[in-house]
A and B are shown apart, each in its own frame.
Chain A
């Protein structure tokens, strides 16, 4: 009797929890309009004056509704040391956006489908040697709704950067202006900062090697990935970047080293870094204070006893 009742209760509990699991299992809803562009960057390293270059990329629809898209090109530059983008600044290094054309400037992509998009670069005869930079945008203002007016219509544009180079009298020059590591940190991440400058007329690459070693064990705690070691610098720009170890522990002592390489120049900085949260510093100071207080009180007590013994 008891056994059968137990079985009944157990069966009931299993049924209840199974039902809850089904009800509460999260359903990740796909967005209606979602654009994926690949690759995110392309290099055209041989743009010969008077000749035509061709390229292609893919547009994917990772949403649930089809969308219409249109293609456009814009200049690409950066506007500060953080390398925030500008798609409106025109100079000698952004002429390529005018050379780009699209055999099929519009199209439609169905959900879970992709299209291959060709583009053509007609290089004029009289262009200077050096770098050329642009962004090709794929834009859609479909919002997936069937009628109804939105107060603010959103156009989504995903861009692919073009790094081009016209061969000829090119110049690769640059400097490493700074490379530093902070010694005392109240919290993660552990990081190193550097500033590099390009005085080239083509894009050049700065390379960063960042290592964190546990001070007590001597073991490697972190090294930046192979893929995150490089930053492309545009002509006549400065870039201030930071490499960091986001998953550093809240408390620790590390030996941190960063090496920056730019063309033939190398800068290495290495420091002992203390990651000490404020509560730990407070605890240490409190312990120190209490220790000093205890020592002083012991000395006073001893003196009082020795004086009392005299009398």
Chain B
């Protein structure tokens, strides 16, 4: 019996010893507030796909449309501006000295011309660009505003339609041109 009591007391003593040893650690623990500062800068992202080549039946006047998908993301709460113009002073589609001229108005099969307009399914399109086919401006001219949107944007989509039409006597060839799409935060 006395041995048992001795063992119990010894065990309690060990536990008490551990408890006492723990006390200083918990007594001197200090809470400290740490301020974490993260500066997030403004940014803007642009992605635009170039239209694939379209096959036109040159001898029998034809009309076709292509499109370019534009995606913009920005954390600027004032939104962004997307504009489109030629990458140079040339606005016609060219092939070895022959051209398909850039003109205002919807292209019509049989009349050589090309134009562009915004797909009105996307919000933020400037009001006159979603119903009217427009001629591509030169690089030195005021670019067409495709979209002027307020608010933060996350992969905000816009689609530009390119319409191309050829005449009955359009010269055979591969016609090419270039556009420049710019995105700037507001």
Contact = CB atoms under 8 A, between A and B. Distances in A.
Contacts, number: 147
A138 to B, nearest CB: 9
A200 to B, nearest CB: 19
B43 A85 contact: no
Interface in B74-105: 74, 76-78, 81, 83, 87, 93
Interface residues of B, number: 49
Given A37-B44, A161-B185, A149 B126 contact: no
Given A34-B46, A159-B183, A151 B41 contact: no
Contacts of B78: 228, 231
B178 A39 contact: no
Contacts of B83: 85, 87
Interface string A78-91: 01001111111100
A195 to B, nearest CB: 15
B81 to A, nearest CB: 4
A152 B178 contact: yes
A41 B51 CA distance: 30
Contacts of A139: 180
Interface stretch (B3-11, B15-23, B26-34, B135-143): B135-143
Nearest to A157: B182
A190 interface: no
Interface of A: 31, 33-41, 62-63, 79, 82-89, 135, 137, 139, 141, 143, 148-161, 225, 227-228, 231, 241-242
Given A84-B81, A87-B182, A154-B49, 4 more contacts: A34-B47, A151-B54, A153-B87, A154-B180
